[in-house]
Chains A and B, each alone.
Chain A
Amino acid sequence: MGKTIAEKILSNKSGMDARAGRIVIADVDYVMVNDVTGPIAFREYSKIGRKEMFRDRMVLIPDHYVPNKDVASAEQAKEMREFAKKHGISNYYEIGKGGVCHQVMIEEGFAAPGRLIVGADSHTCTYGGINAFSTGIGSTEAAVAFATGRLWFKVPETIKVELTGKFRKNVGGKDLIIKIITDIGVDGANYMAFEFQGDGVDTMSVSDRLTVSNMAIEAGGKAGIFPCDSLTEEYIKNTVKGAYTPVSADPDAEYCRILKYDLSKIESMVAFPHLPSNGHAVRNIDIKIDQAYLGSCTNGRIEDMRIAADIVKGRKVHPEVRFLVVPASQKVYRQMLNEGLMQIFLDAGAFISGPTCGACLGGYMGILAAGERAVSSTNRNFIGRMGDKDSEVYLAGPEVVAASAIAGRIAVPEQLERY
């Protein structure tokens, strides 16, 4: 019987016949940690007591609380910097050279088709958008991967998602994934992988695919994997490190469930508090907001910035709204500058910062007070996620975030005629 992409990649990397349900020990291509998960990994690594360290496979990216939020986060970031220095780890991305970890993993060419990548951050599943099997792990597991280059995996069952058609204008990957999570629930893919197939995939930009894969975890998914096609090859060709081998599923692979979506029927979606599965079509709602946030590993790429800038251009941010624009990396920041997007956002009255995870996880740089509401291009709207326990986060794509920043309430771009 044939294999899914997840089964194939795990077979390739373990040298075993990886089938859903089995446990395999596989070689990882890269293991990534950030400033929050790194310090625990470093301590656990020292407990393992092996001399070996798989330095070339390790990637250290401070992003959650950098630039340092306070003394405690400064100490934490220092711990990471010193660990990198002490052990001669060259893949360390200081602020000013990196950004949000998942964006950096892709831009710097660590993520690539067919690779097995783990990261001590739950949104590591993002790289499935470019045909990698990538998944979030804990710090102790990262430490084990530092020391052995390997890790144990339970081979996941796979949900096949067959996509047809093409997104309508102002609808994209975020709307699709909110729709999927709303349909199957926040644990609908627990312990499972998604595999996206069908001619609808050909019509999706790589950026949209990355957004979809990024939020596979919000349905409990272990990975969300797209095929590798000419768009993928084009997207990574100037940055990818080393050789890679794309992996496709066998025609007779076995799936535990099949979902079908016609992209042309997907509407602009917003996920209400306090779960990503509380999706609603934007046209049916009327909700006033205090803050609009554009950024994160989900929707902080140059493509997202272009979409939002196009909507904001020539308009003003609503007087009662704070609009925060946070490019996901220094590269995105520079591209925005070169393409004149900074000017557009500044003219509109947006606040722009350098890359950080900051506000997305309720860390800093845009925290909500009690009773405040934000529409956000991020991935989680749990209780108190972006601030006070009585604040609210509404998740949406860049089109809705930009339109809402102008309208002062959750809106689609088509509703902006009078602004």
Chain B
Amino acid sequence: MAEIRGKVWRFGDNVDTDQIIPAERLVSSNLTHLNEYIFEKVRPGVARDIKKGDILVAGKNFGCGSSREHAPLSLIQAGFSCIVAESFARIFYRNSMNIGLLLIECGTDIGEGDTAEISTECGRIRDLNSGKEYEFPRYPPFITRLVECGGLVNLIREGEF
């Protein structure tokens, strides 16, 4: 699995799906460019500055609220390589795994603008600015298989279920 290095965008606890992508943007004609609207109510303009490979770091309960798959989809479209959070809300977690957005469950105090390096192989995150390191546990076998397949649709195409 991948080695990741990117600039960090820092968010707090309970980032809900309405913050990630407001409901008024949830129409099929926006599906290819949802990234233009991410965080528009809480961090206006941020969508323009996110670069491919950046990392989103947050606190507890990231992705709480709606079941809208538009939320992880918009984060993928924005270019985030992964989301690191102390915990994730359940439906957001499933949606992300099912469509191939990498989530890492790990509490950190990595700050805004820092550069972080992540090894999913070793389960380790390093904050290159502070030098601090964090460890995170591996996924359960089923989830690992889901992620390695590239999501649920591919898993089904391979004859699962």
Question: Does residue B99 face the partner (Cβ distance < 8 Å to A)?
Answer: yes
Q: Which residues of A contact B161 (CB under 8 A)?
A: 25, 144, 148, 150, 152
Q: How large is the interface on A (under 10, 10 to 19, 20 to 34, 35 or more residues)?
A: 35 or more
A182 to nearest B CB, angstroms?
14
Question: Does residue A384 face the partner (Cβ distance < 8 Å to B)?
Answer: yes
Q: B63-101: which have CB < 8 Å to A?
A: 64-70, 73, 87, 89-91, 94-95, 98-99
Q: Are B23 and A140 in contact (CB under 8 A)?
A: no
Our pick among A40, A76, A141, A187 for the contact of B89 (Cβ within 8 Å) is A187
Given A222-B90, A380-B18; A37-B153 close (CB under 8 Å): no
Q: Are A389 and B99 in contact (CB under 8 A)?
A: no
A54 to B132, CA, bound (A): 51
Given A48-B157, A75-B29, A363-B23; A138-B91 close (CB under 8 Å): yes
Q: Which residues of A contact B89 (CB under 8 A)?
A: 187, 190, 220
Q: Are B31 and A40 in contact (CB under 8 A)?
A: yes
Given A148-B161, A187-B60, A220-B89; A40-B69 close (CB under 8 Å): yes
Our pick among A150, A187, A389 for the contact of B14 (Cβ within 8 Å) is A187
Q: A230-285: which have CB < 8 Å to B?
A: 275
B144 to nearest A CB, angstroms?
12
Question: Does residue A180 face the partner (Cβ distance < 8 Å to B)?
Answer: no
Our pick among B14, B24, B68 for the contact of A362 (Cβ within 8 Å) is B24
A119 to nearest B CB, angstroms?
8
Query: Which partner residue on chain B sits nearest A152 by CB separation?
Result: B142
Question: Does residue B130 face the partner (Cβ distance < 8 Å to A)?
Answer: no
A193 to nearest B CB, angstroms?
11
Q: Which residues of chain B have a CB within 8 Å of any CB of chain A?
A: 14, 16, 18-19, 22-24, 26-31, 41-42, 60-61, 64-70, 73, 87, 89-91, 94-95, 98-99, 140, 142, 151-153, 156-157, 161
Given contacts A36-B68, A72-B27, 8 further A-B contacts (CB under 8 A): A36-B26, A37-B67, A40-B69, A47-B157, A72-B30, A140-B152, A220-B90, A383-B19
